[in-house]
Amino acid sequence: MKSAYSLWVMEFAAVPNYPQSGLIYGMHNQGTRKLPYCYIVIKGQGTIAMVDVGYNHKAHGEVLANTFGVKGWRPPREVLGEIGIAPQDIGHIFITHAHFDHMGNIEDFPSATFYLQERELSKWVWTMSLERRFRWLMLGIDTADILRAVDLARQGRLVSVQGDRDNVLPGVDLHAAFDTHTWGSMYVTVRNDLAKNPEASWVFCGDLAYGYENLRGHDPGDPEYIPVGLATGSQFNLVMTSEQMVQSVGGDVHRVIPPHEERLKDLYPSRITKLGLRITELALADGEKSQVR
């Protein structure tokens, strides 16, 4: 089966010991696990795209390191440099949601057009018109990111997506997941044969799942959906979105890629770079050289 795109999961920082309870609903007092921070690179068909861009280290790095134990952050030019790509080579970036740790590094990608659900913006604005007692609904948003988004829009580099959009690039579809982790979250599907074959498809889910327990439960022999703990929308919508994502890849949960899932390295070819960060190679486009072997 031909592959239209090469797909890599690029680690740019990590929390070595993260409580399981923060990732899987109800897993209190169950110890910790490594939580990698990653973005996705999609290369092929004459372009390079990404899913999410990580956070702005200049603005948040010290707090995240000292307060939350985030280690080893490296800038995109070093992380992407490991696979021979420069940030200015990136043409399209799909932002799964507007939290600072997913869209905070806009300014490092000067040539890219950014895609974000309009609902993600409009509902944040609506939320901001509420009284102070509703401020929990606004957590995770950095005003500086919104100001950068204004600049993107003025430069014609912000595409305000309304719902699902097929073939935003050939074989790449955007799917709205409204009222889930955030108001206007979305996930990205890559149909790597450019057709509709679920077995050649991949789903990049942002924070709609942190790990495989969210998509199959604790017993793979008796799977169930267990939502992430953090939802501005609802756990119900997260569960139903999990079903949509898993069905879109023919029921193979391992083709749904949670960027925070450390066990991707056990499922797909990977290597640790000289920076101490992981690269996981999900697919290689026809003629593309492996970056992990």
Tokens of 281: 């190679």
Tokens of 125: 């604005």
* Residue 260 binds to another protein (criterion: CB under 8 A): yes
Residues β-bridged to residue 39: 10
Residues β-bridged to residue 229: none
The residue (of 35 and 292) whose beta carbon lies closer to another protein is: 35
* Residue 154 binds to another protein (criterion: CB under 8 A): yes
Residues between 69 and 128 that touch another protein (CB under 8 A): 69-70, 99-101, 118, 121-122, 124-126, 128
Tokens of 194: 């450019």
Task: Give min distance, CB of 278 to another protein, in A.
Answer: 17
Contacts of 126 (CB under 8 A, 6+ apart): none
**Which of 136, 222, 274, 289 touches another protein (CB under 8 A)?**
136
The residue (of 63 and 195) whose beta carbon lies closer to another protein is: 63
* Residue 229 binds to another protein (criterion: CB under 8 A): yes
Show the DSSP H helices in 129-169 as ranges: 143-154
Size of interface with another protein, in residues (CB under 8 A): 53
The answer to whether the beta carbons of residues 99 and 184 sit under 8 Å apart is: no
* Residue 1 binds to another protein (criterion: CB under 8 A): no
Task: Give min distance, CB of 105 to another protein, in A.
Answer: 14
The answer to whether the beta carbons of residues 205 and 189 sit under 8 Å apart is: no
Contact segment (CB under 8 A) with another protein among 151-159, 166-174, 183-191, 219-227 equals 151-159
The residue (of 48 and 64) whose beta carbon lies closer to another protein is: 64
Question: What three-state secondary structure class fits 282?
Answer: strand
The residue (of 69 and 163) whose beta carbon lies closer to another protein is: 69
CA–centroid distance for 6 within its chain: 17
**Alpha-carbon span 251 to 254, nearest angstrom:** 9
147 exposure class (CB count in 10 Å sphere: 0-12, 13-18, 19+): exposed
CA angle, residues 187, 141, 24, in degrees to nearest 5 = 55
The residue (of 99 and 191) whose beta carbon lies closer to another protein is: 99
Residues between 15 and 34 that touch another protein (CB under 8 A): 15, 18-19, 21-23
- Secondary structure of the chain: what % helix, strand, coil (to 5)? 30, 30, 40
Task: Give min distance, CB of 201 to another protein, in A.
Answer: 25
Contact segment (CB under 8 A) with another protein among 11-19, 81-89, 196-204, 278-286 equals 11-19
> Cα-atom radius of gyration of the chain, to the nearest Å?
18
The residue (of 1 and 129) whose beta carbon lies closer to another protein is: 129
The answer to whether the beta carbons of residues 249 and 201 sit under 8 Å apart is: yes
The residue (of 5 and 18) whose beta carbon lies closer to another protein is: 18
The residue (of 143 and 197) whose beta carbon lies closer to another protein is: 143
Report the interface residues with another protein, using CB under 8 A: 15, 18-19, 21-23, 35, 37, 59-60, 63-64, 66-70, 99-101, 118, 121-122, 124-126, 128-130, 132, 135-136, 138-144, 146-147, 149-150, 153-154, 158, 160, 207, 210, 229-230, 232, 260
